[in-house]
Amino acid sequence: MIEINELKKTFQTEKQFVHAINGVNLRIEDGEIFGVVGYSGAGKSTLVRCINFLEVPDEGSITISGFGTYTARNGKLYHKDEGSDKETPATDKQLRALRRSIGMIFQHFNLLDRSTVFENIAYPLKYTGMSKEDIAARVTELLELVDLSEKVNAYPSELSGGQKQRVAIARALANNPKILLSDEATSALDPDVTESILKLLKDLNKKLGLTIVLITHEMAVVKSICSRMAVMENGKVVEEGNVYDVFADPQAGSTRRFVNASFGINNLEKLTETGVVNVTSNSKLIRLTFDRASVGEALISEVSRKFDVNLNIVLANVEILQDAPLGGIIILAKGEKENVLAAIDYFRSCSVKVEVIADGMA
Amino acid sequence: MEWLEELFPNVAAYWEKFLASCSATMQMFLIGGGISLVIGFFFGVVLVITRTGGIKENKYVYTFVNFFINIFRSVPFVILLIFLIPFTRLIVGTAIGVRGAIIPLCFGCVPFFTRQVETALSTVEPGKIEAARSMGSGTLGIVFRVYLHEAVPNLIRVITITAISLIGLTTMAGAVGAGGIGSFAINYGQNLHHQDIVNVCVILLLILVSVMQTIGNTLAKKTTNRSLFRK
């Protein structure tokens, strides 16, 4: 478990203070894949770097199971063991030991270019008292884990992006960490490679019980492997919850933008702007969101008949999130005003979320 | 040796002197270069790790080292040579000959080389440093296992550049009594009007510099994105 309390980190540039993290509270459970999304500059990178103290927070505390609580006051870090009340200044040695127990992977892989795959993976194992034979055995094991055994003597320049990230993952897992931090690990990869890396992460999560904290700006990544997520904006967590729930019913503005973008619904503006969809005075443009409870019912045709409204489907999309369907339909509802309103009420009574996007009747 | 006598009669006439000055130049180059290499590496690393955003940020150390390097970098070497005479006498007891030349050579070479090392180490992507930190590496670990390891091709390039400029410095030191090829060319070539001696010195230095440049380029190429000896 990782518990983050009232975490704050401010950077000072020449002219101003940048509040990279401004009071973040989060709780990440053991064994879950937790996604942190946000636009660039939202503070997600800084947040993930605070978890292994690559950045030392100014204020707030982080508790990591097995490692006690680290509390920051005025940019100074103090450490308290689990179940103990005694607080001591955190030492460099403690932090380095902690970092060895938390793996981290990066957008640009950050492998040593002059070292072979073997040497890269052996990096965190060397100088830890392990014998050469044990290191070799462990590296072989890790290479099998990431399915890259044949590249053991290759140099990073001879590998593809996806292979490099696999090496980086093996390296991050070398010391058997319980936690893996992923900083935009798939953002520099092609879509199909991204998919294979995400699959690998998910497998590792299941196989090793690895807790993964994944930061990304791609909603697709969160959709495909995360169980819970947080959305960050201006250094704050603006929304947090189960991935399905966040997607089904996004609350914060930036969450909506993310969700809409990932559903391809941003095209809608273009459709209305270019007049492909014409919201006339007797129509409303409505967005319906069907969740687990309502997807699959033949609501559209039923409502159309029952309330005598024309429902013209403009866009439709069904996603499978965490093995449950989530549907979104944009319809142009045309008819008598009271009929349309009654239809909307009926949709709502069937637990369909209704959002009026453009209202020709207003 | 007949061709030598024919082409460069005066070089043949002063053959012993010529060999002695070659040896003096080599001594200055190797001893001065060796010392400068170690000190320059040290200060270069210090600059990179103590600068703003470095792994061991320290404004005072950085400013101090930076200041001294700038000072010695801005004094032309010939002036530095005379300026350091009292200091050299104090330390090694003499200001002439190879012994007397080592200290001014180091003062001339170290600041230049430090800057070069600093530049070479700065080419190591910050991401690699961050990854090493995330794996629990400390300052020493990052210096030796990341900075000095990943920057090898660039370090070879800057060592080559520095070595070539050091050859230049040794000949200049020759002008103020250090001996070596520089003083041979001036005293026996220029002053005695033996143009062939000057020519031989030029050819010799040309060969020396080309060989060093070729070795440097080859090694830099061979160490880019791989280690020199493939396992």
The tens digit of pLDDT for each residue in A149-182 reads 999 999 999 999 999 999 999 999 999 999 999 9
Q: Quick check: A61 pLDDT over 90?
A: yes
What confidence score (pLDDT) does residue A349 get? 87
Residues of chain B with confidence (pLDDT) below 70 = 1, 230-231
C-alpha gyration radius of chain A: 25
Q: What is the pLDDT of residue A270?
A: 75
User: Distance, in angstroms, between A54 CA and closest chain B CA?
Assistant: 7
Phi/psi of residue A199, nearest 5 degrees: -65, -45
Interchain proximity B138–A92, CB inside 8 Å: yes
Q: In angstroms, what separates the C-alpha of B52 from chain A's closest C-alpha?
A: 12
Q: Residue B6's domain is classified under what CATH number?
A: 1.10.3720.10
Taking 60 as the threshold, does the pLDDT of residue A86 lie above it?
Answer: yes
In a domain, B38, yes or no: yes
Tokens describing residue A185: 């690990």
Read off the pLDDT of each residue in A92-109 and give the average, rounded to a whole number.
94
In a domain, B177, yes or no: yes
Q: Does B95 touch chain A (CB under 8 A)?
A: no
The pLDDT tens digits of the residues spanning A278-329 come to: 788 888 888 888 887 776 667 888 888 888 888 888 888 888 888 888 888 8
pLDDT digits (tens, 9 = 90+) for A6-32: 999 999 888 888 889 999 999 999 999
Sorting pLDDT into bands at 50, 70 and 90, what band is A253? confident
Cβ of residue B143 closer than 8 Å to a chain A Cβ: no
pLDDT tens column, A181-208: 999 999 999 999 999 999 999 999 999 9
Chain B interface disruption, residue of A102, A107, A112, A132, most B CBs within 10 A: A112
B153 falls within a domain: yes
Instruction: Extract the runs of DSSP E, i.e. beta strands, from chain A.
Output: 2-12, 17-28, 33-37, 59-64, 68-73, 76-80, 87-89, 102-106, 179-183, 211-216, 228-233, 236-242, 283-290, 310-321, 324-334, 353-359
Report yes or no on B59 lying in a domain. Answer: yes
Q: Which chain B residues touch A104 with a CB distance below 8 Å? A: 131, 134-135
Instruction: For residue B228, tell me if it sits in a domain.
Output: no
Q: Would an 8 Å CB–CB cutoff place B149 in contact with chain A?
A: yes
With beta carbons under 8 A apart, name residues in chain B contacting A96: 136-138
Chain B residue closest to A95 (CA)?
A: B136
Contact A116 B231 (CB under 8 A): yes
Does residue B230 belong to any structural domain of this protein?
no
The tokens describing A34, both together, are: 């937790």
**What residues form DSSP beta bridges with A316?**
A329
Chains A–B, number of C-beta pairs less than 8 Å apart: 68
Residue from the list A106, A157, A175 with its beta carbon closest to the beta carbon of B127: A106
Residues of A in contact with B125 (CB under 8 A): 108, 110
Q: Is the pLDDT of residue A266 over 70?
A: no
What pLDDT score does A297 carry? 66
The residues of A whose Cβ lies within 8 A of any Cβ of B are: 52, 54, 92, 96-97, 99-100, 102-104, 106, 108, 110-116, 123-124, 127, 153, 155-157, 168, 171-172, 174-175, 181
pTM assigned to the model: 0.90
Q: What is the pLDDT of residue A56?
A: 93
Domains of chain A: residue spans and CATH = 2-101+177-260 (3.40.50.300), 267-359 (3.30.70.260)
- Using DSSP's 3-state secondary structure scheme, residue A12 falls into strand
State both tokens at B215. Answer: 């070795």
* Cross-chain CB nearest to B127 (options A102, A110, A157): A110
Answer yes or no: is B231 within a domain. Answer: no
> Please, is B19 exposed, middle or buried when counting C-beta atoms within 10 Å of its C-beta (0-12, 13-18, 19+)?
exposed
Are A102 and B231 inside 8 Å of each other by CB? no
CA distance A137 to A278: 66
- Which of B55, B124, B129, B134 best tests the A interface by mutation, with the highest count of A CBs <10 A? B134
**Mean pLDDT value across chain A:** 90
B29: containing domain: 2-223
> CA of B35, closest CA in chain A: separation in Å?
27
How many structural domains is chain B composed of? 1
Pick from B130, B135, B226: which is nearest to A100 by CB?
B135
Please indicate, yes or no, if residue B8 is contained in any of the structural domains: yes
Nearest residue to B165 (alpha-carbon basis) of B216, B130, B126? B216
